[in-house]
Amino acid sequence: MPEKRQPPTIQNRRAQHDYFVEERFEAGIALAGTEVKSVRAGNVNLRDSHCKIEDLELWVYNMHIAPYEQGNIWNLEPRRKRKLLMHRLEIRRLAAKYEQRGLALIPLRLYFSGGYVKIEIGVCRGKKQYDKRQALAERDAERQRRQAEGSRE
């Protein structure tokens, strides 16, 4: 019996580099059928996406879902705004945090959970240039330490 292939988890690696993630939330996302098939194939880009709260509804902007190849007329605009599904109480809590100065709502990853597409949103604070340099230096030092440790064995 062939193994069932696990759908991919799409990460927003750029968010880890540009922001400090203070808190994480999970939300559902309203997609059309061809968009779900495209997500299952891994044809999603979260790089420049962000979320906004409008009239107590949560929306994700600028998330690129490539058109499904066999979609024909059912394909939608790749960068359209998409509604995120959360309880109203959670959206109010999120809005209170979001209104603080310097915070942004950034999609961190997109994944499947029980057949549904879920999105992980981070309440993020932007990094300064020196924070980014410091993070790169720490990562390089860690890599060099592991290499030195591996060569000793």
pLDDT digits (tens, 9 = 90+) for 1-20: 566 667 778 888 888 888 88
Tell me the residue ranges of DSSP E strands in the chain: 10-11, 19-29, 44-45, 50-54, 57-61, 64-65, 82-85, 103-113, 116-126
The boundaries of the domain holding residue 113 are 10-127
Position 2 in a domain: no
Position 79 in a domain: yes
pLDDT in the model for residue 100: 74
Residues sharing a CB contact under 8 Å with residue 113, sequence separation 6 or more, in sequence order = none
Position 150 in a domain: no
Mean confidence (pLDDT) of the chain = 84
List pLDDT tens digits, range 77-87.
778 888 999 99
Position 134 in a domain: no
Calculate mean pLDDT across residues 71-92.
83
pLDDT in the model for residue 119: 93
Considering its fold, how many domains does the chain have in total?
A: 1
List pLDDT tens digits, range 16-55.
888 888 889 999 998 878 888 888 888 888 888 989 988 8
Split at pLDDT 50, 70, 90, the class of 127 is confident
Structure tokens given for 126: 């932007």
Structure tokens given for 88: 């109203």
The rounded distance, in Å, linking the Cα atoms of 115 and 7 is 10
Structure tokens given for 66: 């490539």
Closest CA to 12 of 131, 129, 124: 124
Is-above-0.85 flag for pTM? no
The rounded distance, in Å, linking the Cα atoms of 121 and 110 is 9
* Virtual torsion, Cα 7, 107, 29, 56, nearest 10 deg: 170
Position 132 in a domain: no
The enclosing domain of 86 has a CATH number of 2.40.280.10
Position 3 in a domain: no
Split at pLDDT 50, 70, 90, the class of 108 is very high
Structure tokens given for 89: 């109480």
Cα→Cα distances 21→17, 51, 105, 116, 133, Å: 10, 14, 10, 24, 17
Position 46 in a domain: yes
Position 133 in a domain: no
